[in-house]
Amino acid sequence: MKRELAIEFSRVTEAAALAGYKWLGRGDKNTADGAAVNAMRIMLNLINIDGTIVIGEGEIDEAPMLYIGERVGTGKGDAVDIAVDPIEGTRMTAMGQANALAVMAVGDKGCFLNAPDMYMEKLIVGPGAKGAIDLNLPLAENLHNIARALNKPLNELTVTILAKPRHDDVIVELQKLGVRVFAIPDGDVAASILTCMPDSEVDVMYGIGGAPEGVVSAAVIRALDGDMNGRLLARHHVKGDSEENRRIGENELERCQTMGIEADKVLRLDEMARSDNVVFSATGITKGDLLDGITRKGNMATTETLLIRGKSRTIRRIQSIHYLDRKDPDIQLHIL
């Protein structure tokens, strides 16, 4: 994958973020997501790549655009697989809350795990604790191993986790162990990245979230030399064994079988992201722990983008000023 493509990918997440921002605080997460999807697809189709969406908005019968298997790009360049999350944090965007991002990861063909849209248990650490995690072990044992690898006492360890009812008992367990807990409402991709950022105090990200977001996280963790374990979980094992949850969960397990993936099995980082020749781009929609959000005055907007190239392990923060009325007409429809 040519390195000059990286800046092209940053333009894709910038467009998606600007489109999502148009709907900031308006209480309609689906419209915000749809606008970001449209903008992302338009920009992808301008790039000289032969791209395939492997993590997207759903199956072909669920999503009109950026569905799994969709071909994007001009078809003339490098063959790449693409994992997208046009808005990581649709609810945060709709409610005007922090940490909403537009996210994309691009790798060589066959690089990413083709995971169904289901739940995934995730345990993520930065480079200092690489090799110290194993989801087959109890969480407490993992935390002791991580603290030992980082050469710090357990009570100085910082763990980020989603503040969801399914994690209530885990949060209590963590606090009893004496670790510091940052419970966040949404946005586990941003939390995952923070484990690997040199200026971050986050040591560990743990919790159950979406598998698509897990694969996106795996791409950037691989690029930053961190470590990650994942485990696919059926819905009724996470949300309760109701008739509806069991029906959905059994469909998820059938999808796993069709795709040749084993649920409830620990997945190592190199099974989810098979190469470090990846490019990751994230643009802030709302201000968060990782990136500043968009500010807009009339037809002028500013964005901040995190652009990571795994091959050289280069981390760039790009601040851009956009004159929205000078954008291509197709994009203007979604951002003005």
Domain finish residue from 272, 288, 310: 272
pLDDT greater than 80 at residue 266: yes
Same domain, 239 and 185: yes
Domain count, the chain: 2
Mean pLDDT across 186-193? 90
Same domain, 56 and 96: yes
How confident is the model over 194-227, as pLDDT tens digits? 999 988 999 999 999 999 899 999 999 999 999 9
Question: How high does pLDDT run on average in the chain?
Answer: 94
Look up the pTM and report it: 0.93
Neighbours of 36 (CB within 10 A): 33
CA dihedral 305, 308, 312, 315 (to 10 degrees): 50
Tokens of 129: 């604790």
Mean pLDDT across 26-45? 96
Same domain, 130 and 227: yes
Beta bridge partner(s), residue 54: none
88 appears as a binding residue in the annotation:
yes
Beta strands in 5-109 (DSSP E): 49-55, 71-72, 78-88, 101-108
Q: Which residue has the tokens 């280069």?
A: 314
Range of the domain at 320: 5-108+278-335
90 appears as a binding residue in the annotation:
yes
Same domain, 204 and 131: yes
CATH of the domain at 225: 3.40.190.90
326 appears as a binding residue in the annotation:
no
260 appears as a binding residue in the annotation:
no
Residue 33's region, left for phi above 0, alpha for psi from -120 to 50, else beta, is alpha
85 appears as a binding residue in the annotation:
yes
Same domain, 160 and 78: no
Domain finish residue from 272, 302, 322: 272
How confident is the model over 135-172, as pLDDT tens digits? 999 999 999 999 999 999 999 999 999 999 999 999 99
164 appears as a binding residue in the annotation:
yes
Domain finish residue from 225, 252, 272: 272
Residue 211: enclosing H or E segment and its boundaries?
helix 211-223
Same domain, 222 and 330: no
Q: Which residue has the tokens 């190469």?
A: 275
Predicted local distance difference test score (pLDDT) of residue 313: 92
Q: Give residue 241's pLDDT band: very low, low, confident or very high (50, 70, 90).
A: confident
How far apart CA 302 and CA 281 sit, in angstroms, is 16
Neighbours of 190 (CB within 10 A): 27
166 appears as a binding residue in the annotation:
yes
Same domain, 131 and 217: yes
Phi, psi of 263, deg, nearest 5: -75, 160
Alpha carbon distances (Å) from 88 to 19, 104, 133: 13, 10, 26
Type of residue found at 320: S
The separation between CA 8 and the C-alpha centre of its own chain, rounded to angstroms, equals: 19
Q: Give residue 63's pLDDT band: very low, low, confident or very high (50, 70, 90).
A: low
Phi, psi of 169, deg, nearest 5: -65, -35
Same domain, 213 and 168: yes
Q: Give residue 60's pLDDT band: very low, low, confident or very high (50, 70, 90).
A: low
323 appears as a binding residue in the annotation:
no
213 appears as a binding residue in the annotation:
yes
Predicted local distance difference test score (pLDDT) of residue 61: 61
How far apart CA 75 and CA 72 sit, in angstroms, is 7
168 appears as a binding residue in the annotation:
no
Phi, psi of 48, deg, nearest 5: -80, 75
pLDDT greater than 90 at residue 109: yes
CATH of the domain at 305: 3.30.540.10
Mean pLDDT across 318-324? 97
Residue 172 in any domain: the answer is: yes
